[in-house]
Amino acid sequence: MWAEKLRIRKNNVIADLYPLTKLWIAALYALCVLILGTMKIDGYPVYMMAAFLVVPILALLSGIFKKFLNVYKGIFTLCLFILVVQALLIKSEEIVWGFKLFGNFTINVYKGGLQKGLDLSFNIMNIASILAWFFQTTENKELVYALEKKGMSPKASYVFLSTLQMIKVLQHNSRVIMNAQQARGVETEGNLFVRARAFLPSMVPLIMGSIANTEERVLTLESKGFSVKCKKTHIFDVVPSGNERTAMIIAVTITILVVVWRVLAWVL
């Protein structure tokens, strides 16, 4: 029996690429970052720092720059904290900056700590940013269905999809519970202690609700014949947009150039 399938269409050439193609692009970018991380100027990962500019440009070309910035703020804050801690705590002979606060108390930024902090921070920022770009341009069900078409079993694909959606579901349920408590007069706004006191009691209904939802999902899947050994059907389809070959050629070419550059720099 023939049935028309829906296709998720995006109004952007890059965002509309096949999910596995975008996954390959993200993997090749991460490989380039790791290679560039081995090339340093005076101990600083300058090339890896410059490579970070690729991700914002890619997000801008993909039409998700505003969404990317929202995620990037959290990544940048975490990496800035790591950089500051490493620069101040990892001591070395050479001091880059020294700040005198009061009396004889000074805060020193050591060169060795700054180098290690930049290396770790930009490693995290590069890889986390390219993953953020991938998941913001690819819906979870697109990725899972593409993997299923490549041979992944329906059971494994469902577990993978449920794992990807778990955080979003828990956030929504937690927000509903907090709003319900606020409607009952429970104080949920204020300092950290007040927020923690309001959040901890909500953990019990959140966990119990998740267990109940799991049972409902099992019954729903069984009612749809999920465990029946037959060819599975989907309401939507994932097909290549036609630009995947060009995108892969560009990504592979850039990766080869980075590898050749690294080998030449090592030999010469």
Same domain, 232 and 266: no
Same domain, 77 and 48: yes
**Given a cut of 60, is residue 7 above it in pLDDT?**
no
Same domain, 35 and 129: yes
Same domain, 197 and 247: no
pLDDT at 22: 93
Same domain, 96 and 219: no
The confidence band for 1, taking pLDDT boundaries of 50, 70 and 90, is very low
pLDDT tens-place string over residues 148-169: 888 777 777 777 777 777 777 7
pLDDT at 222: 67
Same domain, 195 and 253: no
Same domain, 105 and 143: no
Same domain, 232 and 255: no
> How many beta carbons lie within 10 A of that of residue 33, not counting itself?
24
Number of domains, the chain: 2
Same domain, 146 and 173: yes
Instruction: Give the range of the structural domain holding residue 156, as residue numbers without chain letter.
Output: 139-237
Sign of torsion over alpha carbons 207, 212, 218, 221: negative
**Given a cut of 60, is residue 4 above it in pLDDT?**
no
pTM across the whole model? 0.76
Same domain, 206 and 107: no
pLDDT tens-place string over residues 51-83: 888 999 999 998 888 888 888 888 888 888 888
Do 52 and 27 form a contact (C-beta atoms < 8 A)? no
Same domain, 250 and 133: yes
Same domain, 197 and 267: no
pLDDT tens-place string over residues 111-142: 888 888 889 999 999 999 999 899 888 888 88
Q: How far apart are CA 57 and CA 36, in angstroms?
A: 18
